[in-house]
Structures are given as structure tokens and as C-alpha cells.
């Protein structure tokens, strides 16, 4: 998919917008949009185009595992999300290209006086393309109002592997998430048909299903089979400080975890990704350098 050029309007929006966005425009706070297109040229995946507006960008491309896979670090210089912020990321991975995106640190959503902040992340992976979406933790402070949508569109035999690790409040300071609201959505489609549709929303008793835990996580990967499921269940059967469960729907493995804080889930999911990557992506694990800092 070709990303058209655009200009910025006076209201901060793009004159040629980056596709259709499910959430309406926010009327206050930071507005930022980023569109990335990865293509394959010979044996190399290239970040062909980067189109941006506002405080949202990526660092230069990294190739720690050779030319075939392009690693990119998604940057939000303000380092936190506050009420009224409206961030939008569009990723296109062309046929044969392989991109891995992560973040340099946790994303923090701060206290808001009833005003929602929202992040929309939409990726389209062409037939034969691969995207690994591995952001570091998302931390929701007490009193935050957060909307997050991650929408993945797969074409043909496109491959996707990704996770979301969510921490509520600040357990180290004995601060629970007791006020505010959360509306998180994960949607995966293949050739226009839904493969996975999930939505987490706070109710009167907070975020349901956590059983008193302050962290939850979801890991998904296409191209999985019964052997991948068994490997995941074995690896995660005794994670210190966490409860994990795995299931397989078609070729999509879905792993969920609960813990008192994010660290056990982060450690477990990284180990899971390292273990499953050779079978689901066809490459040995290559740890993004930013995770080591």
C-alpha cells in the first residue's frame, strides 16, 4: 500500500489523512500522526517512507539480525500521555518485508480530569509480509482516562506476532487504579474477516477479570500449531509471580497472563517470544538492543 504525501492543516490534522480512524478526533492536547511503509528490495527490508506530524516518530532503521528484518523504535518524545492527547500510528508492511517495532521504554498514561486520551495503532501486512509488534509496558496511572485501539489487517499468508502488557496504578507505591476509565481494543482480521476481537473496559468495580492483580498481558501469534501451543503451556506452567494460560484458535495462539505487577509478565512473554519465534516467524530470536538498556 502506498502512503500518499500530505500537508498539515492549521488545526494540526493532515490534509491527506492516514486512512480511516475508528475514534473521532480529540479536541484538546497533543495531536500526532505517524505513517510507516516497509518494503523489500532484493534481500533487504527498507523503511521506504516515514510521514509524521507532531511528537511521534521512529529512530533510524536497525539491522541486528541482517538485512531481511528491519528493527524500528517508536518514539513519543513527551514520554507520557495525558488527557486530550490523540496519537495515531499507521504501519504498512509490503509483500516479503519483515519489520519489528518496539519502544525504548514503558508508555505512561497520566492522571486526567475526566478527559480521554487516545491512541490508535493500525497495521496492514501484505501477503508474504511479517510484522512483530513488541512494545514495552503500558502503565495506566490512577485517574487516567485511556482509549487504546490496536487493529491488525492480514492479507493472504501474512504473519503477525505481538503483545500488550498493561500495568494498573503504581504497585511499588501501593497506589491502585481506583479512579478513571479504560477502553482497550485488540482486533485482528485476515482478508477482511475477523480472527480476534477483544475489548477491555472498566466498570463500576474497575477492570473486570483481574482477580485483584494489577497487571495483565496478551500475546498473540499467527502461524502457530499444536506444537507451539504445547511449548507455550510448558514454558509458562510455572512463571514465578504470575498466572498464564494459552489457547489456539485456527493458527492463532493466544496467551494471557495476570500478575501483581508487570515484571513477571514482561520476562515470561520475552522468553515465550524467544522460544516460539523460530517456528512462527522462521528466524531465531534477536533481542532488540533497546531492551538491554
- pLDDT tens readout for residues 137-169: 999 999 999 999 999 999 999 999 999 999 999
In a domain, 120, yes or no: yes
In a domain, 77, yes or no: yes
Residue with cell 517508536: 74
d(CA 267, CA 86): 30
Distances (CA, A) of 292 to 104, 286, 288: 10, 12, 8
- Out of 21-30, 118-127, 257-266, which region has the weakest mean confidence (pLDDT)? 21-30
Ramachandran sector of residue 239 (left: φ over 0; alpha: ψ -120 to 50; beta: rest): beta
In a domain, 16, yes or no: no
Average pLDDT, the chain: 89
* Higher-pLDDT residue of 30, 134: 134
In a domain, 9, yes or no: no
- Looking at the chain, the whole-number percentage of residues with pLDDT higher than 70 is 89
In a domain, 1, yes or no: no
Indicate the pTM of the whole model. 0.90
CB atoms within 10 A of CB 51: 17
Closest by Cα among 90, 99, 102, 103 to 69: 99
Per-residue pLDDT at 28 exceeds 70: no
Structural domain of 99 = 33-292
In a domain, 79, yes or no: yes
In a domain, 52, yes or no: yes
Q: Cβ-count burial of 248 within 10 angstroms (0-12 exposed, 13-18 middle, 19+ buried)?
A: middle
Q: Where are the alpha helices (DSSP H) in 158-216?
A: none
Per-residue pLDDT at 16 exceeds 80: no
d(CA 228, CA 159): 15
Q: What is the DSSP letter of 95?
A: T
Q: What is the largest CA-CA distance in the chain?
A: 55
Report yes or no: 278 and 90 within 8 Å, Cβ to Cβ.
Answer: no
Convert 91-126 to b/e letters by CB count within 10 Å (16 or more is b): bbbbebbbbbbbbbbbbbbbebeeebbbbbbbbbbb
In a domain, 59, yes or no: yes
How many domains in the chain? 1
* Higher-pLDDT residue of 206, 102: 102
d(CA 100, CA 45): 11
Q: Looking at the DSSP assignment, which residues form a beta bridge with residue 145?
A: 181
Per-residue pLDDT at 66 exceeds 60: yes
Amino acid at each position: 500500500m502506498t502512503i500518499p504525501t500530505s500537508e498539515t492543516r492549521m488545526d494540526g490534522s493532515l490534509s491527506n489523512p492516514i486512512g480511516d480512524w475508528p475514534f473521532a478526533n480529540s479536541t484538546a492536547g497533543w495531536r500526532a500522526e505517524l505513517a510507516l511503509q516497509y518494503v523489500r528490495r532484493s534481500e533487504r527490508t527498507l523503511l521506504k517512507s516515514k510521514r509524521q506530524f507532531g511528537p511521534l516518530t521512529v529512530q533510524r532503521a536497525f539491522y541486528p539480525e541482517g538485512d531481511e528484518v528491519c528493527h524500528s523504535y517508536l518514539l513519543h518524545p513527551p514520554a507520557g500521555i495525558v488527557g486530550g492527547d490523540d496519537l495515531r500510528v499507521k504501519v504498512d508492511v509490503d509483500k516479503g518485508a519483515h519489520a519489528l517495532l518496539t519502544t525504548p521504554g514503558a508508555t505512561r498514561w497520566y492522571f486526567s480530569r475526566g478527559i480521554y486520551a487516545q491512541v490508535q495503532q493500525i497495521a496492514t501486512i501484505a501477503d508474504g509480509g511479517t510484522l512483530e509488534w513488541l512494545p514495552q509496558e503500558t502503565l495506566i496511572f490512577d485517574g487516567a482516562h485511556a482509549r487504546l485501539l490496536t487493529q491488525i489487517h492480514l492479507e493472504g499468508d501474512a504473519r503477525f506476532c505481538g503483545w500488550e502488557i498493561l500495568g494498573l496504578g503504581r504497585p511499588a507505591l501501593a497506589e491502585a487504579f481506583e479512579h478513571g476509565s479504560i477502553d482497550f481494543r485488540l482486533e485482528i482480521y485476515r482478508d477482511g474477516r475477523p480472527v480476534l476481537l477483544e475489548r477491555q473496559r472498566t466498570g463500576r468495580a474497575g477492570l473486570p477479570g483481574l482477580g485483584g492483580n494489577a497487571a495483565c498481558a496478551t500475546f498473540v501469534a499467527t502461524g502457530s500449531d499444536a506444537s507451539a501451543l504445547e511449548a507455550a503451556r510448558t514454558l509458562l506452567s510455572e512463571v514465578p509471580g504470575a498466572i498464564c494460560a494459552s489457547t489456539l484458535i485456527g493458527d492463532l495462539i493466544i496467551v494471557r497472563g495476570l500478575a501483581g505487577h508487570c515484571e513477571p509478565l514482561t520476562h515470561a512473554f520475552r522468553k515465550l517470544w524467544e522460544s516460539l519465534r523460530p517456528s512462527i516467524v522462521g528466524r531465531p530470536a534477536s533481542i532488540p538492543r533497546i531492551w538491554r538498556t
